[in-house]
Amino acid sequence: MVTCLIGLGSNQGDRVGNLLAAIAALGEDPAISLQAVSSFVESAPVGGPAGQPNFFNGAAILATSLPAQALLTRLLDIELRLGRVRGERFGPRTIDLDLLLYGEQVIESPTLQVPHPRLRVRRFVLAPAAEIAGEMLVPALTDAEQRVSIETLCARLPDPAPSELGLRVIMSAAAMQRHVREIQLSGRRVGVVPTMGALHSGHLSLVQEARRRSDYVVATIFVNPTQFAPHEDFTKYPRTLDADLSALSAAGCQAAFVPSAEEMYPRGATTTVDPPEVALPLEGVCRPGHFRGVATIVLKLFHLIPAEVACFGQKDFQQALVIRRMVADLNVPIEVVVCPTVREADGLALSSRNRYLSAAERERALALSRALRQAEQSIQAGETESNRIVSAMRETLAAAGITSIDYVALADPETLAECSHVEGKTVALIACRVGSTRLIDNCLLDPTIDAGSAKRGAVRA
Amino acid sequence: MVTCLIGLGSNQGDRVGNLLAAIAALGEDPAISLQAVSSFVESAPVGGPAGQPNFFNGAAILATSLPAQALLTRLLDIELRLGRVRGERFGPRTIDLDLLLYGEQVIESPTLQVPHPRLRVRRFVLAPAAEIAGEMLVPALTDAEQRVSIETLCARLPDPAPSELGLRVIMSAAAMQRHVREIQLSGRRVGVVPTMGALHSGHLSLVQEARRRSDYVVATIFVNPTQFAPHEDFTKYPRTLDADLSALSAAGCQAAFVPSAEEMYPRGATTTVDPPEVALPLEGVCRPGHFRGVATIVLKLFHLIPAEVACFGQKDFQQALVIRRMVADLNVPIEVVVCPTVREADGLALSSRNRYLSAAERERALALSRALRQAEQSIQAGETESNRIVSAMRETLAAAGITSIDYVALADPETLAECSHVEGKTVALIACRVGSTRLIDNCLLDPTIDAGSAKRGAVRA
């Protein structure tokens, strides 16, 4: 068996998806034993036509008894299967697999040069390789070169250019934990933004808030199966990984944690978080088990990314409350920041599920923010009877043809106990179906402040 | 209202208990508003007769409208109520309360000097004070002195002598978290040993293992109410705080976290850990809810003391398994080390509950380790039928008059699934009552290794 270092790159289509598909193909080859896979790091293309997308690059270590040329054939075959079309040199590519090291052998043939002739100078190859095989030795190609470790080559590189320091995509829980520890040991504060992907400006506002409050922002993208009930939309939940990664990179996020379900829930894992009482009403009634799934995955993410600060959106009001309460109850050393709901110009709260809506449903969905605004206005006008406010809100929803209502409630914003009279700070919450799409929205109300200052926190349309 | 700094010390009786009683008395005085209480730090007595016990010293900040002399009277009154007998100067004392600062006033009277004339040079006062009131200003007593903050005075002290660096006792969750962070920022690895107090050599062996694996050891002493069922021995569980602290100090433990129940479970805290499946059999059947309590408190302690390593005893075999599994399932970034059971010379496993046993019960209790040793021997002799081994163990217990048996089991040491045949690594576990005292013990068995090497892990008598 020979230990080999493979370089992987993609800058076309679903880039990280392509890299993962290539890794999966390597893993399925019976002649190949996959040993380790690095994180993927974004970098600007070197050479080639202008305007190409950024690459994601990574490295893998494998052991094989295949001769080098046969291994190369397997790599080319995987490239072909994943849709690689060989075009111009340095041109864009769906997937690029390079055989960088074949043990410590030096191979010079018309079709294969090992070690790869530019291995010693390419950060986008050396840095991922150092993560998984720092002690692997690179044989000398010329008399002027020495046999040195990847780690040593990496340390010899000049300081990285900004174009070499793009988003880092981490799939492994252990690598994620190690990476955050390194960042923190360098004295930087870490912020985390847990998401299920399908990112919109609401998510990006959380990244921006995390940037304000920390030096290094990690977003997580994981569609958590345990927070969906069997009849819910887990399988059809939108997955837009490549666009998500581009958006995170553009927003100044430094790392994305994108684990597989197997990575987060290995066989035999059975410990869960029994969420706080505030998880019981409202969503807790409509989505049994939902908050157990949320609390468990968020606590796991807080352990994998023990950040100083975590940002969540007010849009998921009860979720934010469940997490704040869990953090307090379990003494989790993290500051939880809840950021304002981001809305479309016409008032619709941003949600990944909005993309399920037809144009007509999109129009009807405006009734949620309209009902919340009306509640706000009626409280400003002196109304205190919850029954009357809730009835008016339900009428607004009904007038838009929304009849499948899970709840319309006025509640204490700390305990979520429903209140019959609006006296102090109150939250108005709605959950309903528009067509087959379940939407939620909420608004904080405070009858004790005047209408002018209340407007600053208001639902805008 | 005037903000005052009080110094507290005790080196007689239940030292930390005395300090806490004095704090409680201050808190109950309607003329006094207690603002903050520091940790307590152990230090050798300064002056006085030889052979006195070490002191524990702390500081408190309070606000009061009492004149200084009246406040002093209250302090003296509390000293009297707590049994202080004024004897020789620098002699041992149950409780010592000093009025160190009364706002920024300078008071010179026959009975009261404020600031305390030796305040500026006493680490055992300045260090606790700096923890809660670093910015408080100490007025000048002479023309040569300057008005400076406590923090500045503290920084000016010479390096501490070993006698000034005893055990630190921390009661506050927030202070505990801050302290561990400071230790880790200084580059030291932290080890944690969770206990319920009533310490014996088994606990101290955990402290020693933690010392080997880290640079700074924190033991926790907390009799956790949520892991006791209503009919169990929570209220009569042995509490030996002063002896525990002396033992921890002598064992080289640097800090003890000794929170109150209110500190660990503030009103309204309802989040719990639903423990892993391995919590279901054996103790899970006999003590419903026990492992939910254990998992929750241990996770809370891991958050308050985010150590690199935690040590637990094999004596509580299933507990160690529950914690290891929880740590893995929830990705808690801590290494869990399980240390061998410590036994008396005659084989009895050390337990805080052994002190409940009468002399006759103590003798009968030897049947537990004897039964385990017999199981080990019969497996070494080739026996593989669990039924026969368990029957023999039960007979051994019965022969000693032990009839109240919760379980005698041979199980897989990872899953605790009971096994009908002993083929690979197996754990033998016993839980029974001797008199009214519930005792547990266990032994790892491995029929695949020879008797000679098996002996090294054996139950010794």
Name residue, tokens 């005659």.
B346
Answer with the one of A163, A191, A214 that is the final residue of a domain.
A163
Sequence-ordered list of residues with C-beta below 8 angstroms from that of A272, at least 6 positions apart, any chain: A226, A292, A295, A296, B273, B274
Name the residue type at position B80.
L
pTM confidence score = 0.95
A399 and A451 belong to one structural domain? yes
Q: Do A173 and B269 touch (CB under 8 A)?
A: no
At B240, list the tokens: 């030996």
Q: Do B325 and A271 touch (CB under 8 A)?
A: yes
In a domain, B344, yes or no: no
Q: Do A329 and B271 touch (CB under 8 A)?
A: yes
In a domain, A348, yes or no: no
- Please tell me the least confidently modeled range out of A202-211, B30-39, B88-97, B144-153: B88-97
At A418, give phi and psi (nearest 5°).
-70, 145
B314 and B364 belong to one structural domain? no
| Segment B213-233 mean pLDDT | 96
Q: With beta carbons under 8 A apart, name residues in chain A contacting B328.
A: 269
Q: What is the pLDDT of residue A87?
A: 65
3-state secondary structure of B351: coil
CATH number of the domain encompassing residue A443: 3.30.1300.10
Question: Mutation test of the interface with chain A: which of B262, B321, B331, B332, choosing the one with the most A Cβ atoms within 10 A?
Answer: B331
**Nearest Cα residue in chain A from B177:** A333
Q: With beta carbons under 8 A apart, name residues in chain B contacting A328.
A: 269
**Nearest Cα residue in chain B from A329:** B269
Whether B301 shows a pLDDT value over 50: the answer reads yes
- Evaluated on CA atoms A138, A139, A142, A146, the torsion sign reads positive
Query: HSE-up of B248 (CA within 13 Å, CB side)?
Result: 31
In a domain, A365, yes or no: yes
Q: What is the pLDDT of residue B456?
A: 47
B328 and B372 belong to one structural domain? no
A309 and A250 belong to one structural domain? yes
A322 and A371 belong to one structural domain? no
> Is the separation of the CB atoms in A7 and A22 below 8 Å?
no
Catalytic residues of B: 203
Judged by phi (left if over 0) then psi (alpha if -120 to 50, else beta), residue A350 lies in: beta
Give the containing element (helix H, strand E) for B312.
Answer: strand B309-313
Q: Do B306 and A333 touch (CB under 8 A)?
A: yes
In a domain, B350, yes or no: no
Tell me the per-residue pLDDT of A427-449, one tens digit each, with 9 for 90 and over.
Answer: 999 999 999 999 999 999 988 76
CATH number of the domain encompassing residue A156: 3.30.70.560
Burial of A278-312, coded b for 16+ CB within 10 Å and e otherwise, reads bbebbbbeebeebbbbbbbbbbbbbbbbbbbbbbb
Domain count, chain B: 3
Q: Does residue B275 sit at the A interface (CB-CB below 8 Å)?
A: yes
Question: Can the peptide bond before residue A288 be classed as cis, meaning omega within 30 degrees of 0?
Answer: no
A334 and A209 belong to one structural domain? yes
B191 and B273 belong to one structural domain? yes
Selecting from A276, A331, A333 the residue whose C-beta is nearest the C-beta of B270 gives A276
How much is the CA Rg of chain A, to the nearest whole Å? Answer: 26
| Segment B317-323 mean pLDDT | 98
3-state secondary structure of B9: strand
Query: HSE-up of B38 (CA within 13 Å, CB side)?
Result: 26
- Please tell me the least confidently modeled range out of B52-61, B85-94, B171-180: B85-94
Q: With beta carbons under 8 A apart, name residues in chain A contacting B259.
A: none
Q: Do A173 and B331 touch (CB under 8 A)?
A: yes
Q: With beta carbons under 8 A apart, name residues in chain A contacting B304.
A: 331, 333
B300 and B318 belong to one structural domain? yes
- Cα dist. A156→A141, A149, A159, A277, B239 in Å? 17, 11, 9, 55, 59
B70 and B196 belong to one structural domain? no
Q: What is the pLDDT of residue B91?
A: 66
CA A435, A437, A441: angle at the middle one, nearest 5? 115
| Segment B108-135 mean pLDDT | 94
Give the containing element (helix H, strand E) for B108.
Answer: strand B107-108
A110 and A197 belong to one structural domain? no
Q: Return d(Cα B23, Cα B43) in angstroms, integer.
A: 20
Selecting from A272, A276, A326 the residue whose C-beta is nearest the C-beta of B274 gives A272
The end-to-end CA distance of chain B, in Å, is 65
Question: Can the peptide bond before residue B115 be classed as cis, meaning omega within 30 degrees of 0?
Answer: yes
- Evaluated on CA atoms A289, A295, A298, A300, the torsion sign reads negative
Q: With beta carbons under 8 A apart, name residues in chain A contacting B174.
A: none
Instruction: Sort strands A190-195 and B148-149 into parallel, antiparallel or unpaired.
Output: unpaired
Tell me the per-residue pLDDT of B370-391, one tens digit each, with 9 for 90 and over.
Answer: 999 999 999 999 999 999 999 9
Q: Do B330 and A296 touch (CB under 8 A)?
A: yes
> Is the separation of the CB atoms in B388 and B408 below 8 Å?
no
CATH number of the domain encompassing residue B309: 3.40.50.620
- From the list A91, A11, A89, A16, the residue with the least C-alpha distance to A50 is A91
Q: Return d(Cα B103, Cα B118) in angstroms, integer.
A: 17
Selecting from A270, A272, A303 the residue whose C-beta is nearest the C-beta of B333 gives A303
Answer with the one of B105, B137, B164 that is the final residue of a domain.
B164
Helix H, strand E, coil C: the string for chain A is CEEEEEEEEECCCCHHHHHHHHHHHHHHCCCEEEEEECCEEEECCCCCCCCCCCEEEEEEEEEECCCHHHHHHHHHHHHHHCCCCCCCCCCCCCCEEEEEEECCCCEECCCCEECCCCHHHCHHHHHHHHHHHCCCEECCCCCCCCCEEHHHHHHHCCCCCHHHCCCEEECCHHHHHHHHHHHHHCCCCEEEEEECCCCCHHHHHHHHHHHHHCCEEEEEECCCHHHCCCCCCCCCCCCCHHHHHHHHHHCCCCEEECCCHHHHCCCCCCCEEECCHHHCCCHHHHCCCHHHHHHHHHHHHHHHCCCCEEEEECCCHHHHHHHHHHHHHCCCCCEEEEECCCECCCCCECCHHHHHCCHHHHHHCHHHHHHHHHHHHHHHCCCCEHHHHHHHHHHHHHHCCCCEEEEEEEECCCCCCECCECCCCEEEEEEEEECCEEEEEEEEECCCCCHHHHHHHCCCC
Q: Does residue A187 sit at the B interface (CB-CB below 8 Å)?
A: no
Q: What is the pLDDT of residue A73?
A: 96
Q: Which of A116, A200, A203, A290 is catalytic?
A: A203
In a domain, B200, yes or no: yes
> Is the separation of the CB atoms in B74 and B68 below 8 Å?
no
Give the containing element (helix H, strand E) for B213.
Answer: helix B201-213
**Nearest Cα residue in chain B from A303:** B332
Sequence-ordered list of residues with C-beta below 8 angstroms from that of B181, at least 6 positions apart, any chain: A333
A111: containing domain:
2-163
Whether B47 shows a pLDDT value over 90: the answer reads no
Question: Mutation test of the interface with chain A: which of B271, B299, B322, choosing the one with the most A Cβ atoms within 10 A?
Answer: B271
Q: Do A274 and B274 touch (CB under 8 A)?
A: yes
Q: What is the mean pLDDT of each run of 10 residues along chain A (461 residues)?
A: 96 95 96 97 88 94 97 95 74 88 95 92 94 95 92 94 91 97 94 98 98 98 96 94 97 98 97 98 97 98 98 98 98 98 98 96 98 96 96 98 97 96 96 97 86 50 46
Catalytic status, residue A303: no
**CA-based nearest distance A20→chain B, Å:** 23
A187 and A68 belong to one structural domain? no
Q: Return d(Cα B218, Cα A382) in angstroms, integer.
A: 56
In a domain, B366, yes or no: yes
Per DSSP, chain B holds a count of helices (H) and strands (E) of 15, 19
In a domain, A59, yes or no: yes
Q: What is the pLDDT of residue A91?
A: 66
**Nearest Cα residue in chain A from B308:** A181
What's the complex ipTM?
A: 0.95
At A120, list the tokens: 């010693």
Q: What is the pLDDT of residue A450?
A: 60
Answer with the one of B164, B189, B220 that is the final residue of a domain.
B164
Q: Return d(Cα B28, Cα B44) in angstroms, integer.
A: 30
A110 and A33 belong to one structural domain? yes
Tell me the per-residue pLDDT of B154-204, one tens digit each, with 9 for 90 and over.
Answer: 999 999 988 888 999 999 999 999 999 999 999 999 999 999 999 999 999
In a domain, B349, yes or no: no
